[in-house]
């Protein structure tokens, strides 16, 4: 009984929300940030309610309806593609005018070569959506871009103005403490840092620019990625929803979002940072999720049996024990960020990647290789710093287990 | 009122347990249910009551549902159907907040593979329950230190669990469970991962602690000797069903079915049976045949193995006395022969002439 009453309340509130969305969409409120905000506010609970309703309806009914829905969508798409195609036959019976044979079996021609009219107008839809998206919400991206640019220039300015010996000493000091006072690693990292400038004096400032972009990109990855990873570890549904998004982020070619990035954020460091996020965040999310799920079930049970709340469990048990994995994720994130920064030089991002590009354009193999070497050195420095920290944590949480 | 009462608890694992429940209630067994619906029956109509201050041992082979049962007592697993009443509170009716409170104060648990926090030191591990309760660091460490002393781990408080041996780790587990001073202690195969000598050591330590603390202990094991040594009452599970519950003597002397018989077959009866159990009542015994010089007095609570050599050596008669020194019954070599034979007490009395 209670369930049914709940159900009715949910249906009613969904209808109200849908009504409000329609109202805001068409009539009353102009499309701006406030509009988006309002839409989000209405959208989030609506989605939650739909999910709840999906939970109430018996599973087989739901499956049946989703199949029917899928079939309807497919048929509609085919009809739309047929109708909207410019190269369709004049009338339906024309389809069967031309015949060909396959292994001696006569078949209508359109079954052998992919017909021109079987073509969903996705490109047009995306372009249309993209245009109105920029017109309506461009302001938001301007704001984000401005904020990031401000942070980037400030941070870069500080490091560039600092005398280079102090920067090297700073790097050495950080490595010394994160690596748990390992002298070998520290000396090695110090030398690598020195050699970046030693290769070519121009590289020093460029390396700082690159590092700043990487650091800001990683910071965004951590701020957004770790909570998402935690949410995925906690709920099977969230994981199933997010995994395909992560796959897309990792597989989609970088240029597909580099170019739109220019349109949204302009040339320079900001689209590079956004690209870093898209490219480097998935491994961090995956490793956070994995790390939390790999925590020994009995340890979790022990914490639960003592009455730990979800928050106490997360902060006191799950995160500390997942930390080696999370640090590995941050390390991966760093490496991928560096790779992306180099690719981003193609859209005018300055930094070490820019030097490589310049060398290649002038067919100056030496210059390109020199810059490439500097990138490798920078990668070693960043890798050692994050890796060493992860190892140190691992030693603390799992003492006795030596790294192979 | 019993401390813990479990009433008609069913647990079915699978996608849709509530649809399978009627089938299980009608008496389908584990294999049938698995074959027809793909659901696994964890517990099948288990009812038992555990008294305050006793050690209740729950025994069965792996897959018999004993670990599932113990996790119902603090609702780490929720039953499909049935009630669990602890201290007069039906814990099935607790909401999430109350449940957390219940777990904090009423009971604590010891795990087979110890379940220690690898990133915390011994003293932090032991203080964990108190940390969750919101006690200050000072209080935590004070209580933890007394527990460390109680289990004999002085000097190891700043070590990490992985630096300790298995036996020491489980002592940390035990100390951690006792640190919150719960009324009920759940021990899930607590000593099964330890080697025999250490296990016996830990059993002794538990018996000593229990004689001082008088907790209600629910102990899970697959080892009959362990259950006979520790248990005031024993419940035997098979395929999710409770096949027999009773005192160790009852289980040994009157096994309920073939499964229990197979279990008790190899047990060393002399170690388990008490004089009280095997004696012939004083009024039913023909005292004329006794020569006074060959009698030997033992207390009724003494195990057979302690006076067995006397009987074998001199063929003497044992006079069983109670705490006050009154004669309660007699034991001769005949009673010993009957009680120690493996085919079972009842059958032997029927077939011997």
Answer yes or no: is pLDDT of A27 > 70.
no
Mean of the per-residue pLDDT values of chain B: 86
Q: Tell how strand B55-59 and strand B233-238 pair up.
A: parallel
Q: Looking at residues A212-229, what average pLDDT do you find?
A: 94
Closest CA to B28 of B259, B256, B235, B239: B239
Answer yes or no: is pLDDT of A402 > 70.
no
Q: Tell how strand B55-59 and strand B216-221 pair up.
A: parallel
Q: What is the CATH number of the domain that holds B51?
A: 3.40.50.300
Q: Is residue A243 part of a domain?
A: yes
Residue of B nearest to A402 (CA): B162
Contact B171, B124 (CB under 8 A): no
Is B231 found in the same domain as B280? no
Mutate to test the interface with A, among B76, B96, B127, B132 (most CBs of A within 10 A): B132
The residues, ordered by sequence, that sit 6+ positions from B338 with a Cβ below 8 Å of its Cβ are B278, B345, B348, B349, B352
Question: pTM above 0.90?
Answer: no
Q: Is A321's Cβ below 8 Å from some Cβ in B?
A: yes
Please report residues of B whose CB lies closer than 8 A to that of A303: 117, 128
d(CA A249, CA A141): 19
Element (H, E) at B107: strand B107-110
The alpha carbon of residue A43 and the mean position of all alpha carbons in its chain are separated, in whole angstroms, by 22
The lowest-confidence range among A286-295, B78-87, B222-231, B265-274 is: B265-274
pLDDT of residue A48: 72
Q: Is A303's Cβ below 8 Å from some Cβ in B?
A: yes
Range of the domain at B305: 272-351
| Positive/negative CA dihedral, B58, B60, B62, B65 | negative
Residue of A nearest to B96 (CA): A309
Q: Is residue B146 part of a domain?
A: no
Is A145 found in the same domain as A102? no
Answer yes or no: is pLDDT of B292 > 80.
no
Is B18 found in the same domain as B90? yes
- Look up residue A341 and give its two tokens: 């920064």
CA distances from B324 to A127, A156, A167, B294, B300 (A): 99, 91, 88, 22, 11
Closest CA to B308 of B293, B323, B321, B318: B318
Q: What are the DSSP E strand ranges found in A207-331? A: none
The per-residue pLDDT for range B81-99, each reduced to its tens digit, is 999 999 888 988 888 899 9
Contact A342, A328 (CB under 8 A): no
Is B93 found in the same domain as B9? yes
Is A358 found in the same domain as A284? yes
pLDDT band (50, 70, 90) for residue B61 = confident
Q: Is B134's Cβ below 8 Å from some Cβ in A?
A: no
Report the SS3 class of residue B324. coil
The lowest-confidence range among A11-25, A102-116, B238-252, B303-317 is: A11-25
Answer yes or no: is pLDDT of A403 > 50.
no
* Residue % of chain A over a pLDDT of 70: 88
Is B239 found in the same domain as B294? no
Please report residues of B whose CB lies closer than 8 A to that of A396: 119
Q: Phi-psi bin for B65: left (phi > 0), alpha (psi -120 to 50), beta?
A: left
Mutate to test the interface with B, among A58, A59, A306 (most CBs of B within 10 A): A306
pLDDT of residue B31: 86
d(CA B74, CA B63): 20
Write out residues 100-129 of B within 8 Å (CB-CB) of A. 100-105, 107-109, 111-119, 128-129
Contact A385, A211 (CB under 8 A): no
Q: Which of B104, B108, B119 sits opposite A397 (nearest CB)?
A: B119
Of B267, B300, B322, the last residue of a domain is: B267
Domain count, chain A: 2
Answer yes or no: is pLDDT of A294 > 70.
yes
Q: Looking at residues A371-388, what average pLDDT do you find?
A: 88
Of B207, B242, B267, the last residue of a domain is: B267
Of A94, A111, A128, the last residue of a domain is: A111
Q: Is residue B125 part of a domain?
A: no
d(CA A107, CA A21): 49
Is B196 found in the same domain as B90? yes
pLDDT of residue B349: 45
Contact B279, B330 (CB under 8 A): yes
Instruction: Kindly report the nearest CA distance between residue B74 and chain A, in angstroms.
Output: 7
d(CA A39, CA A29): 10
Of A70, A95, A111, the last residue of a domain is: A111
Is A228 found in the same domain as A91? no
Is A252 found in the same domain as A374? yes
ipTM of the complex: 0.82
Q: Is B74's Cβ below 8 Å from some Cβ in A?
A: yes
Mean of the per-residue pLDDT values of chain A: 84
Is A369 found in the same domain as A272? yes
Closest CA to A336 of A213, A248, A236: A213
Please report residues of B whose CB lies closer than 8 A to that of A316: 131
Domain count, chain B: 2
Residue that wins the pLDDT comparison between A57 and A171: A171
Of B221, B249, B267, the last residue of a domain is: B267
pLDDT of residue A25: 58
Whether residue B115 and residue A308 make contact (CB cut-off 8 A), yes or no, is no
How many contiguous H segments (helices) and E segments (strands) does chain B have? 17, 14
pLDDT of residue B293: 67
d(CA A363, CA B275): 101
DSSP string spanning A146-195? Answer: HHHHHHHHHHHHHHHHS-HHHHHHHHHHHHHHHTTS-HHHHHHHHHHHHH
The per-residue pLDDT for range B310-330, each reduced to its tens digit, is 777 777 788 888 878 788 888
The alpha carbon of residue B245 and the mean position of all alpha carbons in its chain are separated, in whole angstroms, by 11
Q: Is residue A354 part of a domain?
A: yes
**B216-236 residues labelled b (16+ CB within 10 A) or e (exposed):** bbbbbbebbbbbbbbbebbbb
Q: Which of B103, B116, B186 sits opposite A307 (nearest CB)?
A: B103
Is A191 found in the same domain as A103? no
The runs of H, that is alpha helices, within B154-195 are 166-179
Is A169 found in the same domain as A229? yes
Residue of B nearest to A395 (CA): B119
Whether residue B109 and residue A305 make contact (CB cut-off 8 A), yes or no, is yes
Q: What is the CATH number of the domain that holds A171?
A: 1.10.3720.10
Of A76, A96, A111, the last residue of a domain is: A111
pLDDT of residue A5: 60
Q: Looking at residues A84-97, what average pLDDT do you find?
A: 77
Q: Is residue A117 part of a domain?
A: no
Q: Is residue A71 part of a domain?
A: yes
d(CA B308, CA B173): 38
Q: Is A297's Cβ below 8 Å from some Cβ in B?
A: no
Whether residue A302 and residue B162 make contact (CB cut-off 8 A), yes or no, is no
Q: Is residue B34 part of a domain?
A: yes
Report the SS3 class of residue B47. strand
d(CA B157, CA B144): 9
pLDDT of residue B345: 47
Q: Looking at residues B258-267, what average pLDDT do you find?
A: 84
Answer yes or no: is pLDDT of B347 > 70.
no
Query: Tokens 């980037």 map to which residue?
Result: A152
- Look up residue B84 and give its two tokens: 């669990």
Q: Is A298's Cβ below 8 Å from some Cβ in B?
A: yes
Closest CA to B110 of B202, B248, B12: B202
Q: Is residue A123 part of a domain?
A: no
Contact B349, B334 (CB under 8 A): no
Is B76 found in the same domain as B219? yes
The per-residue pLDDT for range A115-151, each reduced to its tens digit, is 888 888 888 889 998 888 888 777 778 888 888 999 9
pLDDT of residue A152: 92
Range of the domain at A48: 2-111
Is A207 found in the same domain as A149? yes
d(CA B110, CA B188): 6
Residue of A nearest to B124 (CA): A316
The per-residue pLDDT for range A333-362, each reduced to its tens digit, is 999 999 998 889 888 888 898 899 999 899
Contact A249, A280 (CB under 8 A): no
Whether residue A304 and residue B119 make contact (CB cut-off 8 A), yes or no, is no
Closest CA to A155 of A202, A224, A207, A208: A208
- Look up residue B331 and give its two tokens: 């034991």
Q: Is A220's Cβ below 8 Å from some Cβ in B?
A: no
Q: Is residue B119 part of a domain?
A: no
Is A162 found in the same domain as A14? no
Q: What is the CATH number of the domain that holds B297?
A: 3.90.1280.20
DSSP string spanning B125-138? Answer: HHTHHHHHHT--HH
Please report residues of B whose CB lies closer than 8 A to that of A308: 100, 132
Whether residue A306 and residue B104 make contact (CB cut-off 8 A), yes or no, is yes
Q: Looking at residues B27-56, what average pLDDT do you find?
A: 89
Whether residue A305 and residue B186 make contact (CB cut-off 8 A), yes or no, is yes
């Amino acid at each position: 009984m209670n369930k049914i009453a709940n159900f009715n309340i949910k249906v009613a509130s969904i209808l109200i929300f849908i009504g409000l969305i329609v109202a805001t969409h068409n009539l009353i409120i102009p499309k701006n940030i406030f509009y988006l905000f309002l839409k989000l506010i209405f959208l989030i609970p609506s989605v939650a309610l739909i999910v709840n309703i999906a939970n109430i309806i018996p599973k087989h009914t739901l499956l049946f309806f989703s199949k029917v829905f899928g079939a309807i969508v497919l048929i509609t798409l085919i009809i739309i593609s047929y109708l909207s195609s410019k190269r369709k036959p004049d009338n339906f019976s024309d389809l069967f005018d031309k015949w060909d044979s396959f292994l001696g079996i006569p078949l209508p021609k359109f079954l052998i070569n992919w017909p021109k009219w079987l073509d969903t107008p996705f490109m047009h839809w995306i372009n249309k959506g993209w245009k109105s998206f920029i017109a309506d919400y461009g302001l938001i991206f301007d704001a984000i871009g401005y904020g990031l640019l401000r942070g980037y220039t400030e941070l870069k300015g500080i490091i560039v103005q600092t005398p280079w010996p102090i920067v090297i000493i700073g790097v050495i000091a950080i490595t010394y403490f994160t690596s748990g006072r390992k002298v070998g690693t520290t000396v090695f990292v110090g030398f690598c840092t020195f050699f970046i400038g030693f290769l070519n004096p121009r590289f020093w400032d460029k390396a700082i620019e690159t590092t700043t972009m990487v650091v800001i990109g990683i910071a965004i990855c951590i701020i957004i990625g770790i909570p998402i990873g935690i949410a995925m570890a906690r709920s099977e549904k969230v994981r199933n929803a997010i995994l395909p998004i992560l796959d897309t982020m990792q597989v989609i070619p970088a240029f597909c979002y580099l170019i739109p990035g220019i349109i949204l954020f302009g040339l320079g460091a900001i689209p590079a940072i956004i690209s870093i996020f898209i490219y480097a965040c998935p491994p961090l999310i995956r490793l956070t999720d994995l790390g939390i799920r790999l925590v020994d079930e009995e340890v979790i049970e022990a914490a639960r049996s003592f009455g730990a709340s979800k928050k106490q469990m997360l902060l006191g048990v799950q995160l500390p024990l997942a930390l080696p994995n999370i640090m590995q994720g941050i390390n991966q994130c760093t490496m991928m960020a560096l790779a992306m920064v180099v690719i981003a030089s193609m859209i005018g991002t300055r930094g070490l990647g820019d030097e490589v590009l310049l060398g290649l354009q002038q067919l100056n193999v030496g210059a390109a290789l020199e810059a490439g070497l500097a990138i490798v050195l920078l990668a070693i420095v960043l890798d050692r710093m994050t890796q060493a920290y992860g190892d140190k944590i691992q030693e603390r949480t799992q003492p006795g287990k030596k790294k192979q | 009122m019993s401390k813990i009462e479990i009433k008609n608890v069913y647990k079915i694992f699978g996608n849709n347990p509530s649809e399978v429940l009627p089938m299980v209630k009608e008496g389908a067994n584990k294999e049938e249910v698995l074959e027809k619906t793909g659901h696994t029956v964890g517990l099948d109509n288990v009812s038992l009551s555990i008294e305050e201050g006793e050690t209740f041992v729950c025994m069965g082979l792996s897959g018999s549902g004993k670990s599932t049962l113990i996790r119902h007592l603090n609702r780490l697993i929720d039953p499909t159907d049935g009630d669990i009443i602890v201290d007069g509170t039906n814990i099935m009716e607790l909401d999430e907040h109350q449940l957390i409170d219940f777990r904090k104060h009423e009971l604590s648990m010891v795990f087979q593979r110890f379940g220690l926090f690898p990133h915390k030191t011994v003293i932090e591990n032991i203080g964990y329950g108190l940390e969750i309760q919101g006690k200050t660091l000072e209080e935590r460490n004070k209580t933890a230190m007394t527990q460390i002393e109680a289990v004999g781990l002085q000097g190891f408080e700043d070590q990490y669990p992985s630096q300790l041996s298995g036996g020491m780790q489980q002592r940390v587990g035990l100390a951690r469970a006792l640190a919150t001073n719960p009324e009920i202690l759940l021990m899930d195969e607590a000593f099964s991962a330890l080697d025999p000598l250490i296990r016996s050591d830990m059993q002794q330590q538990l018996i000593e602690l229990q004689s001082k603390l008088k907790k209600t202990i629910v102990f899970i094991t697959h080892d009959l000797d362990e259950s006979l040594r520790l248990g005031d009452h024993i419940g035997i599970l098979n395929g999710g069903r409770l096949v027999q519950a009773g005192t160790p003597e009852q289980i040994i002397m009157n096994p309920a079915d073939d499964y229990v018989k197979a279990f008790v077959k190899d047990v060393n009866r002399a170690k388990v049976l008490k004089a009280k159990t095997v004696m012939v009542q004083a009024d039913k015994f023909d005292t004329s045949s006794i020569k006074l010089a060959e009698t030997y007095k033992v207390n009724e609570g003494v195990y057979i193995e302690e006076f067995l050599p006397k009987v074998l050596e001199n063929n003497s008669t044992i006079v069983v006395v109670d705490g006050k020194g009154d004669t309660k019954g007699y034991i001769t070599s005949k009673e010993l022969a009957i009680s120690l034979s493996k085919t079972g007490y009842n059958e032997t009395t029927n077939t011997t002439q």
